[in-house]
Chains A and B, each alone.
Chain A
Amino acid sequence: MPEGNGADRTGADGIVELRVVNKWFDDFHVLRDINLTVGRGEKVVICGPSGSGKSTLIRCINRLEEHQEGRIVVDGTELTGDVRAIEQVRRRVGMVFQQFNLFPHLSVMENLTLGPVLAARTAQSAAQSRARELLERVRIADQAHKYPGQLSGGQQQRVAIARALMMRPRVMLFDEPTSALDPEMINEVLDVMIQLVEEGMTMIVVTHEMGFARRVADLMVFMDDGEIVEAAPPEEFFTRPSNERTRAFLSQILTH
């Protein structure tokens, strides 16, 4: 454990480190003593019933939510109230949301280039060529001039993934990326995510897609009621979960 060494650097332990993190929404204790380490290049899948705190947990990693106790260190930078640190972490962490959250008044191309041009002061032309390259990778190169409202849900989510990749993040956060999609569009998004897995991206994914999780996860994390209840490699997690709550949850989502 790096505790007590006083420095922000946490050594080779992990690119994302959460140590005894606690958070409250008013009086409601939404995250309780969260300890989580994510190794460079590893994939962590978080599942759990709704309201268990899994979204809040990953939103703390790029400071969309503020934690009240404990330490969160991302790629050597600790998240405190310091605005510079927050900006630095956000440049290194890409995020994909359940509702895509594309900017509806901007074209696909503008959605992609806005962040790099404004926040990282990349030249417009460099940002555009990077955007074209990424749109190619998520297989919607021909939609660059369209607006988000003209795309299907699956296409929008692939644009959102491309947008998150624009700044060459070292960590990608996925907050239920397929939950708002029609069933026939889920695979096109999962395919892009698997592509990222194969490229060695560090990924933290909140999802109920258990087939995907079993295939890509290095670590499965089950959360309930603000706590990490169980954490295990997928093989063990799905075949012999140790906790009763995990078993109950898995039996609910794996039937039918």
Chain B
Amino acid sequence: MGAPARISTAVPVAAPRRPPPLRARSISHWLHANLFSNAHNTVLTLLCLVALVMAVPGIVRWAVLDAVWTSADGEACRTALGACWAVVGEKYRLILFGTFPYEERWRGWLVIALIIGLAVVSGFRRFWSWYLFLAWIAVLVVVLVLMLGGVFGLRRIGTNEWGGLPLTLLLFMGTVVGGFPLAIVLALGRRSRLPVIQALSIGLIEITRGVPLVAVLFIASVMFPLFLPGELTIDKLLRAQIGMIVFFAAYAAEVVRGGLQAIPRGQYDAADAIGLSYWQSTSRIVLPQALRVVIPALMNDIIRAFKNTTFVSIIGLFDVLGATKAALEDPRWIRFAPEAYLFVFALYFVFCLSMSKYSESVERDLRKGRNF
């Protein structure tokens, strides 16, 4: 017997590079792949179709065809079968500005424009640096001057008159601008080697996370003044703002801590080896990487902070939701609360959806390992 014949073979070639085969992209192909790929999916697709056919005409008739778009006193709405969008047209000033003095509304509009404008600018990653944070602080100051007045010939407007969208946006901005640095400090503090700092950070984080926001706001508005000497009073809005900042920071600190833990030890080694101090390596090496990783999770907290601004209405501040509720106390319009609330719903939805979509795009870039 000779040696067994060799089975293993490989074929050397010289094959040129070429593009991948095209995927079928026709509509019927898409329908088949996504809606009718098997019996189970086909049944589900048909059921959804039936549900849509049953629901959509009714909704369209109520919301569009039979709806009343304008009516100065709501009379036209009383006889109509559809929605009364006139309530939005009549009450939007109150919804958007609450009790803010009518003739000073331009200041409110300017505040809204400044905050939204800077938020949009912040979305461009090429502007991301510590300077952007300074810009937020600068805008915060400008916004406060605009709202409060009393300088530059602006009429003074007390915080008890603030309301509506400027108040909502200001509370939101104050929460994030104030809470974000506090979150970073708490996260670093929790990892500190100094026991006192570590204990303080853990204590603040855990206590705050252990109580509901409503309780924090009640403590800030009702109990906190009891502990202060009588002559010292802190504005109710400011107290609520501080409560919201601490609440936001406690949650965000845990998110940031997750990012800090994702930094490999080698990064600290390299920073130490080239002679960077703790603060240099923290601000230039550790935090820029840790924060990038946690942006999606942080956006989650930021969106929640936006929605949490509605809680201030329970301590008597008129944010958008509170102002809407107040506007609907008008007996002529009280019946049309659903339409007004749908408008507010849409307003919140647009803000939250754009933040969430933005977060998705950041996440996509992170996944591709792109640098920004």
Choice from B266, B272, B274, B289 contacting A163 with Cβ under 8 Å = B274
Nearest A residue to B273 by beta-carbon distance? A95
- Which one of B18-26, B54-62, B280-288 contacts A? B280-288
Residue A97, interface by CB 8 Å: yes
> Does B289 lie within 8 Å of A90, measured CB to CB?
no
Of residues A97, A100, A105, which shows the largest number of chain B Cβ atoms within 10 Å of its Cβ? A105
Query: Which residues on B sit within 8 Å (CB–CB) of A95?
Result: 269-270, 273
Chain B residues lying within 8 Å of A149, measured Cβ to Cβ, are: 369, 371
The answer to whether B369 and A167 have CB atoms under 8 Å apart is no
Selected interface stretch from A112-120, A187-195, A200-208: A112-120
The reply to whether A118 and B280 contact each other, CB–CB distance below 8 Å, is: yes
User: Is A119 touching B269 in the complex (CB atoms < 8 A)?
Assistant: no
Are B275 and A90 in touch, CB under 8 angstroms? yes
A105 touches B288 (CB 8 A): yes
Contacts of A238 in B (CB 8 A): none
Interface membership of B276, Cβ < 8 A:
yes
Say yes or no: is B313 at the interface (Cβ < 8 Å to chain A). no
**How far apart sit A24 and B13, CA to CA, in the bound complex (Å)?**
58
Would A119 and B270 be within 8 Å (CB), given that A105-B371, A149-B371 are in contact? no
Nearest to A96 among chain B residues (CB) is B273
Q: Which residues of B contact A163 (CB under 8 A)?
A: 274
Inter-chain residue pair count (beta carbon < 8 A): 67
On chain B, the residues within 8 Å of A104 by CB distance are: 289, 371
Q: How far is the CA of A93 from the CA of B267 in the complex (A)?
A: 17
Q: CA of A64 to CA of B285 in the docked complex: distance in angstroms? A: 17
- Which of B270, B292, B369 meets A97, CB within 8 Å? B270
Smallest CB–CB gap between A77 and chain B, Å? 13
In the complex where A91-B275, A105-B289 touch, is A118 in contact with B284 (Cβ < 8 A)?
yes
A87: Cβ under 8 A from any B Cβ:
yes
A102 at the interface (CB under 8 A from B): yes
Q: Is B277 an interface residue (CB 8 A)?
A: yes
Please name all residues of chain B whose beta carbon is closer than 8 Å to the beta carbon of A103 when the two chains form the complex.
267, 270-271, 285, 289
Within 8 A of A (CB), among B229-270: 264, 266-267, 269-270
Complex interface: chain B residues within 8 A of A105 (CB) = 288-289, 292, 371
Q: Contact: B280 with A62, CB < 8 Å? A: no
User: Which chain B positions have C-beta within 8 A of A124?
Assistant: none
Using known A-B contacts A103-B285, A105-B292, A149-B369, determine if residue A118 contacts B266 with beta carbons closer than 8 Å. no
Are A101 and B289 in contact (CB-based, < 8 A)?
Answer: no
Question: Which chain B positions have C-beta within 8 A of A115?
Answer: 274-276
* List of A residues within 8 angstroms of B266 by Cβ: 97, 99-101
Most interface-central of A118, A163, A164 (chain B CB within 10 A): A118
The B287-304 residues at the A interface (CB cut-off 8 A) are 288-289, 292
Q: B371 contacts A119, CB within 8 Å?
A: no
The residue that B273 contacts in the complex, of A90, A100, A120, with Cβ under 8 A, is A90
Check: A147 CB closer than 8 A to any chain B CB.
yes
A93 to B274 Cα, complex, angstroms: 8
| Contacting pair A64 B369 (CB below 8 A) | no
Task: Say whether A114 contacts B284, CB under 8 Å.
Answer: yes
Q: How far is the CB of A67 from chain B (nearest CB, A)?
A: 16
A58 to B205, CA, bound (A): 39
Minimum distance in angstroms from A123 CB to a CB of chain B? 17
Contact B275 A167 (CB under 8 A): yes
Q: Which residues of A contact B270 (CB under 8 A)?
A: 95, 97, 101-103
Residues of A within 8 A of B (CB): 59, 62-64, 87, 90-91, 93-95, 97, 99-105, 114-115, 118-120, 147, 149, 163-164, 166-167
- Seed contacts A62-B272, A97-B270, A164-B273; 16 additional CB < 8 Å A-B pairs: A64-B273, A91-B275, A94-B273, A97-B269, A97-B273, A101-B270, A103-B270, A104-B371, A105-B288, A105-B289, A114-B276, A118-B280, A118-B284, A119-B276, A119-B280, A167-B275
19 A-B pairs within 8 Å (CB atoms) are namely: A62-B273, A64-B272, A87-B275, A94-B273, A97-B266, A99-B264, A101-B266, A103-B267, A104-B289, A105-B289, A114-B284, A115-B274, A118-B284, A119-B274, A147-B371, A149-B369, A149-B371, A163-B274, A167-B275
The 3 closest A-B pairs by CB, nearest first: A115-B274, A119-B275, A101-B270
Interface residues, chain B, with chain A CB atoms under 8 Å away: 264, 266-267, 269-277, 280, 284-285, 288-289, 292, 369, 371
